[in-house]
Structures are given as C-alpha cells and as structure tokens.
Amino acid sequence: MRIVVAASLMVFVLTALFAQSASAMPRGFAAAGSVLPDDPLHWPYSRKAIGPNGLREYVIEEMMGREKWGVTPTDEEKDRGYVIFSRHYCSPIYWFSLPNNRADKLSLFTSLGQYEATSFSVYAIKETEGLSATPTDLVGPGGAVIKSDNLEVRVTRDYPARYRLGIAMVPEFLERRASVNMAGETAKQFWVTVYAPENARPGKYTGAINLRASGRKPASVKLEVEVLPIHLREAPTLYMMCFLLPNHPELYPQNLDKCMVDMREHGMSSLWTWPDADVKKVGDKYVWDFTKWGVCRQADNYFAHSLTTIIESYMRAGFTRPWLFGSMDAFRDVIEVKLGFKPFTPEFDTVYLDALRQYLALAKTKHWPPIAGVQVVDEPGGRDEGMVYAKYYNKLVKDNFPDVKTMEDMGPWRGENVTLSPWVDIMCYGVESQAGADFCAKAGHDYWMYNGASFGHNPSLDRLYWGLHAWKAGVKGVGQWVYTWWVELNVPADEKTYVDPGFMYVKPAVDGPVPTLAWEGVREGIDDTRYAFTLQELIKQARASGKPVAIAEADRAQRAYDDVMADMSFEHSGREPFLEKNPPQVFDAKRRELADAIVRLQAKL
C-alpha cells in the first residue's frame, strides 16, 4: 500500500512540476526534447557509425549538382565566416546546399494561440565554432510585447537515409542547441517557431534573431510577425498518430506525458493505440485488468504503459475527443498466451467480448473519453487467417455491441475487402479516392484514411496530406504510422551497414521527443485545415444572421474558399503531382487567402 501511495504521489509531483515548468513557455516548447546523442547513429541496433569521411561518405552527386551559388560572398561575410540565406522552411537544406540569396528579414503571420514557423540557413565559408541563434522579444502595437519565451530556434540534425539514387545525409531532426559548430563549406538550417499567446494584441510585431560565433562579428536577422485577430476553430476531423512506446530505456518511456502534450500541440485531436492488458479467471468469470501491460510479449517489452496509464495521460494533455481502440488485436494474443484459448472457439469468444464489455464499463465509471471505434484486427490481409478472422470478429462485436463502431484499416477496399462492409462502420483507406468516398457514402460508413503521408521524411507531403488534401477528401479521421519507431532498419549497402530510421515523426530523447521536420509539417497542414474550417463556419454564421452586408461578404468568402480548394485533389495519386507542380509557398498563399477572408467576414459580423 505504501508503495502504491508513494508511486501515486511521485506521479502527482512530476505532473505538477511539468505543469509548472510549462507555464513559463508554451506547452509545446516545454514538452519537446532538446538533442539526440552526439553519435547520430547511436541507436540500439546500430552496427556501423559514420565512416572516416563523415558527411561526405553519404552523398548523391546528382543532388549536389542541383545546388548553385546565387550570391558572391562580400568581404564582410568572408570576414564573419558565413552567409545567411533563406528558403521556405519546407524546402530541405542539405549540408552541401549553397546560398542563392541573402536573408536579412523573415516575415510570417499567425493567429492567436497558434504556432507558426519560418526558417533561415547559414552557409559556413570557413570553419565556424560556437554559432548561436537567439531570439529577442517581439514588440508590437502600442508597445505590446510577445516575450522571447514564445519563440524557439532549432537547428537541423542530419541523418543518412536511403533514396532511389543511393544513400544521402539529409536533414531529418530539429534540435534545440545552445550553439553549433560548422565545418567549412557546409550549411545548416535554423528553424524558427513563434507562438502567439491567446491574449496577444493583434497587429504587427518586430524583433530579431541574433547570431554570434566565437571570435566573429555578430549578425542578426530581422523578424516580422503579424498576429491576426483570429481564434481558429478545431476541425471535426479526428487527427491521430499511431502510438506505442515500448519499455526500452533508450525510448525514455517516463516521458509519456510529454509525448501526449507534444501530439496535442501539433494538432492531434485523437489517438490510435493498442496496449494489451492482463486477464485471469476468478471463480467462473474472467476478469480483465487494464492497469497491466506487456502480458503477451514480455520478452520484447512491447508495451511500456497500460491502457489505463495512456488514457489518463491523454486526458492530462487536454484531449477530450474520441480515440481509436486498437487493443482488440492485442487482446487476441493475450487470450491465447494467458488462457490457451484459440480463436473461433466459444471460450475465446466469451473472454474476447468480456474485454470490451469490461473496458466500456470502466471507461464509463472513470469518465474517460469515448472510443471512436474498435479496431478488431490491424490490416487483416496481413494476418494468417486474414479476412476470415476479420469477418468473424467484426460481426461478433457488432452483434453484441451494436452501438460501438468497428473499424478496419485496409485500402483501397476493393473486391474481397468489401465483403467486410456489413460489419465495419469505419473504413480506413490506405489509398484514398473518390470511389472510396462514394462507396462509404452509399454504404453508410465513415470514411477515414491513413499512411499516405511521408512517414516522417517530407514536411511538404505531410503538410499537404494532413491538411487541405484530407479536408478536400472529407474524411472523418486521418491516421499515420507512427509517432515514433523503435526498430531500426539495417540495410546492407556497398559492404557497409547503415541504419535507416524507417518511419517516425519524433525521436525520443532524455528530456522529451525531438521532432522531425516532417512533424512540423503535420502541424502546418492541420492548421491549414483549421483556417478552412473556421472560414466555413463563419460563412454559415453570416448567412444565418440575416444581415445583407454579412451575407454579401459570405458570398465573397465562399468564392475565396472555392478558389483555394479548386486545384486540390483527394485522389491518392494526386499528391505527388501537386507537389511537383507547386512550391511550398503555395500553401502559405492559400492560407493567407483564407485568413484574409476570415478577417473581412468577422468585421461584418
């Protein structure tokens, strides 16, 4: 009993300390981790670190050939040792990137309570040590101030990744470092995130990012931030990352609360998770314990947290909306391992249904958020029994819990897969399409999509997929594997082995999750959707007001909305062509058009 009380007290104290530390800065900044280990290949299953040639051991000549000088360094820049330049933050800056402009000013706009990004880059003409980038306060209308605590500067961390052309060292992660050392003739991108407090005074603010390096003259980049008088509304779409954090010490499972806050602050409104539980026979009944975990896969420490722990952390982070209950797939394993019952037997079915029944009863008692749906089996085509198991157990759940939605993730849902339709309420497509949307509408299913983004490697694709692409598709849920991954993919290449990070959006570090550039792209995409949704809601409000001036402005706003969405495709095959045709700046232009329409419409209301 003392141990339980002490553990509970410790959790309370840690939570209180985290909340206290978060009060000094935006929650997202407080939750995020700082740096990865010094060895970029310091992963538990690594076999080989970077070779003696360092960065140049991983280079693709064709990629290097695309980089061209666009400026000639001045004497001042040569003396200082570096050139400051800028590209859109979704455009990768490789270690071999060359400056094609000069950046002395960065500009962005944001809404109240939002995070917004921009970036600049530094090309080191010669070796530069101790380079730091520090933001100042932002001063705005009437002397209003946004403190520098609301600004964060991170720097890219390179990692070898496999391309069609070979292996290249690419900017994968964003670290928060006091300073960095740069070798001569290399480039680094500095990612700037601004948080506009909910109570900030709308208007234009100015500040700077000050750069200093050992033994060099200082430099600065001016920063202009326009805070719009907009409070964005949360779209009805459920945005969820697949989440599992195994009990490996290098994954820092003690940072569960920080992971949840990080997901919430990046726009997630839901969660997709699969923890198992314990079950035992008590008398003539089977009792499930959702405070236990790792029962069926102890050897691998597959779970670090129980279902109870995860849902309580989910709520502490501010989540309130339904989440996807994927654990029925894990419970299958538990029943076989703990009790020896095989699927398709009365004994198995009894315990299986008891799991869901007892969870629902517990959730009601605890006032936990409802479940959006029950995932009976993950991608049924990949299991031994495949569709046979999926059909039988989706039907079993529906027959016994008619008010609970079932979900399956397996697209494009053609042919044999469609036979699941009578027992599946939510069809989650890996290949989204008009045909899929039409089928779901006709059959009365919720239309979801998943795994069409970049798996953590391309911020532009993630911004598109999570953003206006999903919004145009009209899906009710968007998911992606995986928030973080714990198994590295060792790939032989040229008689040496490197570690491909596979798919992940953050990498756990000692003080919290370290984001990828793609993770920031996810947030930007969801924010694009929030602008679109906010405008749509205001259009409805204006038309319902009966005011001629508001209705006229609503018509103008609708034309702006239609213009923004006109070239968006929600066919899976339309993502890459859109990105090939449009530079990342197009997203900003579309958002600005939506934002301006919101401001005009608000004025009429």
**CA nearest to 354, candidates 404, 285, 402:** 285
Average pLDDT over residues 171-189: 95
Q: What CATH class is the domain 32-228? A: mainly beta
Which amino acid type is present at position 97?
S
Query: How far is it, in rounded angstroms, from Cα 523 to Cα 520?
Result: 5
pLDDT band at 62 (very low <50, low <70, confident <90, very high): confident
Take residue 316 and report the two structure tokens written for it: 């502490």
User: Is the pLDDT higher at 17 or at 424?
Assistant: 424
In which residue are the tokens 């052309």 written? 165
Closest CA to 147 of 114, 195, 112: 195
Q: How far apart are CA 37 and CA 31, in angstroms?
A: 18
Q: What is the DSSP string of 98-167?
A: ---S--SEEEEEEETT-EEEEEEEEEESS-EEEEEEEEPPEE-GGG-EE-GGGEEEEEEEEEEEEETTEE
Residue 61's pLDDT band, with cuts at 50, 70 and 90, is confident
3-class secondary-structure state, position 46: coil
Nearest to 106 by CA among 138, 71, 67: 138
Specify whether the CB–CB gap between 491 and 498 falls below 8 A: yes
Statement: residue 395 has pLDDT above 90: yes
Mean pLDDT score, 438-451? 94
Cα-Cα-Cα-Cα torsion 20, 26, 27, 31, nearest 10 degrees, comes to -90
Reported as a single tens digit per residue, the pLDDT across 183-228 is 999 999 999 999 999 999 999 999 999 999 999 999 999 999 999 9
pLDDT the model gives residue 42: 44
Record the tokens describing residue 516, joined without a space: 């990828």
Nearest-angstrom CA–CA distance, 584 and 531: 17
Is the pLDDT at 279 greater than 90, yes or no? yes
pLDDT band at 249 (very low <50, low <70, confident <90, very high): confident
The mean pLDDT of the chain is 89
**554-595: pLDDT as tens digits:** 999 999 999 999 999 889 999 999 999 999 999 999 999 999
pLDDT at 121 over 50: yes
Q: Check residue 498 and give its pLDDT.
A: 46
* pLDDT bracket for residue 231 (50, 70, 90): very high
Choose among 557, 571, 282: nearest CA to 434.
Answer: 571
Domain layout of the chain by residue ranges: 32-228, 535-604
Contact 520, 582 (CB under 8 A): no
Q: Which pLDDT does position 63 carry in this prediction? A: 85
Residue 553 pLDDT > 90: yes
Give the residue-averaged pLDDT of 269-274.
96
Cα dihedral angle (335, 338, 342, 344), rounded to 10 degrees? -20
Q: What is the pLDDT of residue 234?
A: 97
Pair of tokens at residue 314? 């989910």
d(CA 225, CA 513): 27
The whole-angstrom separation of Cα 154 and Cα 116 is 13
pTM (global) more than 0.85: yes
- The region of weakest confidence among 345-349, 421-425, 535-539, 549-553 is 421-425
Per-residue pLDDT, 254: 96
What confidence tens digit (pLDDT) does each residue in 331-381 have?
999 999 999 999 999 999 999 999 999 999 999 999 999 999 999 998 886
Question: 444: phi > 0 → left, psi -120 to 50 → alpha, else beta; which?
Answer: left
Provide the 10 A C-beta neighbour count for residue 576: 11
Q: What is the pLDDT of residue 501?
A: 59
Least confident segment among 30-44, 238-252, 551-565, 573-587: 30-44
HEC assignment per residue over 351-393: HHHHHHHHHHHHHHHHCCCCEEEEECCCCHHHCCCCHHHHHHH
